[in-house]
């Protein structure tokens, strides 16, 4: 692993508590969360890293350390899955084990971001429909979209619903089955 340097900052207690809470919700250490935030800001600014990131180096205290041996092909699969979820291998393996033991299906950050965008889109559609309904109620007639436009809006809502359902199904299946079905 490439050498790394430490970056420090001081925060008010309230901000520190918020960071701890968000990192905990995303099932990662504060250091991993901060590194992901910095990487995202650098990408937004158009700056790319000179060396590929292998994921955040985590110094968070854990209750127990578990050492395991993996076959090389399993390690490659683990690395691919962890990279696909934007996580270090150890964090992904820990989340996978925790999900299995506690019968959970956690949503990683990327999938959660897609769901939040979808919810925002649905909120915008709902506000538009409320505005149309308000005008129709006040004037006694609807001066808005016709039947074709409303049917198109309904189709868009149904497509968004189906997309969110598929995302949730894929997330659940990925935590339950891994790559086992691809090799059978």
> Nearest CA to 89 among 37, 53, 45?
53
C-beta separation of 85 from 29 below 8 A: no
Whether the per-residue pLDDT at 54 is higher than 60: the answer is: no
pLDDT of amino acid 151: 79
Measure the CA dihedral 97/98/103/107, to 10°: -100
**Paired tokens of 76:** 């490659």
pLDDT of amino acid 179: 45
Locate the domains of the chain by residue range: 11-59, 62-104, 110-179
Q: Which region holds residue 142: left if phi is over 0, alpha if psi is between -120 and 50, else beta?
A: beta
User: Cα separation of 173 and 7, whole Å?
Assistant: 38
User: Cα separation of 144 and 105, whole Å?
Assistant: 42
Give the list of residues 6+ apart from residue 157 with CB closer than 8 angstroms, or none: 122, 125
**pLDDT tens track for 121-169:** 888 888 877 777 777 777 777 666 777 777 788 888 888 888 878 877 7
């Amino acid at each position: 692993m490439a050498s790394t340097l430490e970056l420090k900052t001081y925060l008010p207690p309230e901000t520190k508590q918020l960071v701890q809470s968000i990192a905990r919700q995303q099932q990662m250490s504060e250091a991993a969360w901060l590194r992901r935030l910095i990487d995202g800001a650098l990408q937004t600014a158009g700056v790319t890293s000179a060396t590929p990131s292998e994921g955040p180096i985590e110094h968070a205290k854990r209750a127990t350390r578990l050492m395991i041996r993996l076959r090389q092909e399993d390690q490659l699969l683990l690395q691919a899955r962890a990279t696909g979820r934007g996580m270090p291998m150890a964090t992904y393996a820990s989340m996978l084990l925790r999900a299995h033991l506690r019968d959970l299906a956690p949503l990683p950050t990327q999938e959660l971001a897609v769901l939040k965008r979808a919810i925002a889109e649905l909120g915008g559609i709902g506000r538009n429909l409320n505005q149309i309904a308000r005008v129709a109620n006040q004037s006694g007639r609807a001066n808005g979209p016709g039947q074709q436009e409303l049917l198109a809006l309904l189709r868009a809502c149904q497509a968004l619903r189906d997309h969110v359902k598929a995302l949730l199904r894929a997330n659940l299946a990925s935590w339950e089955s891994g790559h086992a079905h691809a090799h059978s």
